[in-house]
Structure 1
Amino acid sequence: MAAVRAELRRRDGVTEEVSVAVGNNLSSVIGGIHELSASVSRLLTGLVEQDKGRGDDAQGEPADTEEEDSDGDDGEPETPPNAELQPPSKRSRT
């Protein structure tokens, strides 16, 4: 029997391991990877919630960041969301 595993090293140096037993066929390995991904996501979500609780905004409101406040004034022209990018039109020979 085989296993897929992940290792997370936290900022404080503590290492956490997550492993899922899988069979010897491809579908079992794929299922194990999905299960491992879900376990790691839960683990990381818990760590993010802990970090949010330690921050200045302990009420659960996200801190304002410059990326969120960006209003597109970075000098790049905005394209409408429904516009398709097209190649330049071909020149005719004269």
Structure 2
Amino acid sequence: MSEYEWPAGPDVPAAETVRQCWAATVTALPVGACIAGEVVGRQRFGVFIRIHGVPDAVGLAEVGGMPHDMELPAVGAEVTGKVVWHADHNCQVKIKLDEWDRFE
């Protein structure tokens, strides 16, 4: 998989599965919840995260929350963060990574 492709693979839920499980995901991951997960995809706008313990969720940490002097975590990196918003239109859990908070 190229660094900038949409996340895919055996450990990444299909888009339809994410949509079908969205209500349960929002309940399991309320705003303010702490998460841990693995980066499963990178885009210029942020990283996609496979959230541990919530198999049908996809998190997104966008570059807008990242300090300017940092780089996006690599695919495969283990990350932690906090849920800051739910994007109902595309069923994404918006995440702010803990490592980004240290530079505010």
More strand by share: 2
Q: TM-score, normalised by structure 1?
A: 0.21
Q: TM-score, normalised by structure 2?
A: 0.20
Q: Which has the higher contact order (CA 8 A, sep 6+)?
A: 2
More helix by share: 1
